[in-house]
């Protein structure tokens, strides 16, 4: 009986979800990334503007991002819903064995690196929308022979206010140019400070986070000034977190094998190597190189990392433990903070805050996959999603139009109601059995006012 009721509830909820899956055109959508915003910064530092924003909207406390937890792979995942192995932007430094080309984040505009996927600023064009991407990684690259309607070549000296001013103008449009329906905006902090000072430096990170929060305040006031506030959906998120590094935690490759044995494509915290001699022998040396570094032959990279099925993944990868830095030689620590580590580590996770007419108010969940944001955005914009690794159903409860049940609560309520009903039934039966043999209490209640010493029940 209980099972039937529960199944009935669950079937009803599934039907409701399917019904609610019907897409409807929504307001414009602005996706903002503050690079390197580790999820726990939200708890460690006062962020009054950000807190005000998500108190009127939704907060996902931690996003499980994609491996490797670097800037370019994760920014491309946010706008494609794909793991790195599927979108092809696999690291900050890559080598393509077919074209023999090299990729670096400062030399990234060859379309061939980006053409394995289509970012939302391209696919939304097919729905008849104008789009904009302000310094988002890949946004100044011609992808599938197209770019966003508006974009700027990457230039770190352009201030947040200048980037924001352009984005709001593009969203608003004018007599000549229709406003954009999707815009992506990128800002370099708190990543830059996290690398220089390390995430454990409260003073320096407090200052960087204060500036980030001031920029969020600027965003809110700009949206209010332009009349967009309340008419636009805003998502604020990031690509990855940051781990504290130390000169005490260096892993030297030269201690394990001579550099003549391999070509180094990427170094830390995930090294990518092409063995030049016997691959098994090179792997064997690297495998026992350091207790805080795990070596994988490409074919043995764990499924959960979704980091194997791409030609640009090299024959051997080495993954440092959290806070450890791989160097070739020497004692010099390159950065006090770094990211790129295993994406199951909480220190690598960013967050998501969102508000606007499509979102619930004051709603909070503990976690989500970052690849789920893409199908959510496609749904909000009524843009047919490209094939992706995300699941809209994971994210749909953030939306005001969606009715979501808290399954544990519902199960608890059903069990509670059944317990009460069972108790009432048992009591009723008990009374029912005893009534014929104990008529006196009722006689007494009706007529016998003087008989105070008689028990009510025998
Ligand atoms: Zn980054």
The burial class, CB within 10 Å (0-12 / 13-18 / 19+), for 297 is middle
Q: What is the DSSP letter of 366?
A: E
Residue 35 CA, ligand 1 centroid: distance in Å: 5
Give me the residues near ligand 1 (ion), CB cutoff below 5 Å. 35-36, 71, 191, 239
| Number of Cα atoms under 13 Å in the Cβ half of residue 19 | 10
192-203: b or e for each residue (b if 16 or more CB lie within 10 Å)? ebbbebbbbbee
Measured CA to CA, the distance from residue 238 to residue 240 in angstroms comes to 6
Q: Are 116 and 99 in contact (CB under 8 A)?
A: no
Residue 248 CA, ligand 1 centroid: distance in Å: 24
Q: Cite the active site residues.
A: 71
**Closest by alpha carbon to 300, among 330, 329, 280?**
280
**Closest by alpha carbon to 48, among 228, 220, 187, 231?**
220
| Per-residue pLDDT in tens (0 to 9) along the chain, 458 residues | 444 444 444 434 433 333 343 334 569 999 999 999 999 999 999 999 999 999 999 999 999 999 999 999 999 999 999 999 999 999 999 999 999 999 999 999 999 999 999 999 999 999 999 999 999 999 999 999 999 999 999 999 999 999 999 999 999 999 999 999 999 999 999 999 999 999 999 999 999 999 999 999 999 999 999 999 999 999 999 999 999 999 999 999 999 999 999 999 999 999 999 999 899 999 999 999 999 999 999 999 999 999 999 999 999 999 999 999 999 999 999 999 999 999 999 999 999 999 999 999 999 999 999 999 999 999 999 999 999 999 999 999 999 999 887 777 778 888 888 898 988 888 888 887 665 555 555 444 444 444 444 444 44
Q: Are 381 and 26 in contact (CB under 8 A)?
A: yes
Residue 341 CA, ligand 1 centroid: distance in Å: 12
Residue 186 CA, ligand 1 centroid: distance in Å: 10
For the four alpha carbons of 435, 437, 440 and 441, in that order, the dihedral sign comes to negative
List of residues 6+ apart from 254 with CB closer than 8 A: 328, 329
Q: Are 132 and 145 in contact (CB under 8 A)?
A: no
Residue 362 CA, ligand 1 centroid: distance in Å: 28
Measured CA to CA, the distance from residue 83 to residue 371 in angstroms comes to 7
Q: Are 36 and 341 in contact (CB under 8 A)?
A: no
Q: What are phi and psi of 438, to 5 degrees?
A: -140, 70
Q: What is the DSSP letter of 139?
A: T
Residue with tokens 């791989």: 326
Measured CA to CA, the distance from residue 67 to residue 343 in angstroms comes to 5
Residue 66 CA, ligand 1 centroid: distance in Å: 12
Q: What are phi and psi of 293, to 5 degrees?
A: -140, 130
Q: Are 336 and 198 in contact (CB under 8 A)?
A: yes
Q: Are 75 and 33 in contact (CB under 8 A)?
A: yes
The burial class, CB within 10 Å (0-12 / 13-18 / 19+), for 114 is buried
Measured CA to CA, the distance from residue 284 to residue 327 in angstroms comes to 19
**Cα distances (Å, whole numbers) of residue 258 to 7, 80, 200, 264, 268:** 62, 40, 35, 12, 18
The model's pTM is 0.86
Q: Token digits for 321?
A: 């433990």
3 state SS of 303: helix
Q: Are 326 and 293 in contact (CB under 8 A)?
A: yes
The pLDDT score that the predictor gives to residue 263 is: 98
Q: How far is CA 378 from the centre of its chain?
A: 15
């Amino acid at each position: 009986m209980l099972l039937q009721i529960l199944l009935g509830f669950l079937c009803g909820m599934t039907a409701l979800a399917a019904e609610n899956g019907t897409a409807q055109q929504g307001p414009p959508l602005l996706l903002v990334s503050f690079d390197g915003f580790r999820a726990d910064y939200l708890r460690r530092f006062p962020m009054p503007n950000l807190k005000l924003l998500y108190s009127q909207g939704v907060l996902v406390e931690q996003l499980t991002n994609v491996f490797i937890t670097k800037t370019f792979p994760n920014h491309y995942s946010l706008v494609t819903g794909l793991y790195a192995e599927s979108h092809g932007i696999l690291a900050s430094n890559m080598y393509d064995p077919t074209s023999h080309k090299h990729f670096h984040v400062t030399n990234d505009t060859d379309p061939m690196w980006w053409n394995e996927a289509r970012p939302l600023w391209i696919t939304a064009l097919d729905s008849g929308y104008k789009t904009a991407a302000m310094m988002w990684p890949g946004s100044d690259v011609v992808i599938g022979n197209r770019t966003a309607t508006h974009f700027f070549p990457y230039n770190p000296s352009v201030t947040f206010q200048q980037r924001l001013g352009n984005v709001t103008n593009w969203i608003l449009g004018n007599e000549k140019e229709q406003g954009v329906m999707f815009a992506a905006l990128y800002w370099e902090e708190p990543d830059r400070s996290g690398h220089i000072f390390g995430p454990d430096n409260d003073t320096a990170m407090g200052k960087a986070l204060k500036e980030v929060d001031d920029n969020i305040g600027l965003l809110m006031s700009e949206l209010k000034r332009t009349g967009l506030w309340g008419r636009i959906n805003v998502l604020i998120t990031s690509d990855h977190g940051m781990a504290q590094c130390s000169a005490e935690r260096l892993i030297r490759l030269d201690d394990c094998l001579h550099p003549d044995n391999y070509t180094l494509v990427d170094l830390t915290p995930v090294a990518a190597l092409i063995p030049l001699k016997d691959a098994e022998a090179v792997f064997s040396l690297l495998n026992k190189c350091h207790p805080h570094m795990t070596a994988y032959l490409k074919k043995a990279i764990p499924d959960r990392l979704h980091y194997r099925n791409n030609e640009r993944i090299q024959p051997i990868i080495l993954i440092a433990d959290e806070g450890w830095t791989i160097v070739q030689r020497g004692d010099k620590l390159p950065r006090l903070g770094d990211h790129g580590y295993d994406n199951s580590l909480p220190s690598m996770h960013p967050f998501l805050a969102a508000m606007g007419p499509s979102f619930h108010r004051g709603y909070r969940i503990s976690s989500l996959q970052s690849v789920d944001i893409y199908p959510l955005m496609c749904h909000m914009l009524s843009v047919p999603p490209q094939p992706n690794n995300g699941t809209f159903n994971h994210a749909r409860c953030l939306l005001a139009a969606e009715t979501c049940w808290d399954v544990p609560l519902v199960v608890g309520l059903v069990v509670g109601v059944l317990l009460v009903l069972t108790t009432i039934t048992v009591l009723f039966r008990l009374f029912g059995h005893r009534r014929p043999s104990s008529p006196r209490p009722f006689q007494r209640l009706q007529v016998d006012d003087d008989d105070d010493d008689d028990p009510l029940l025998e």
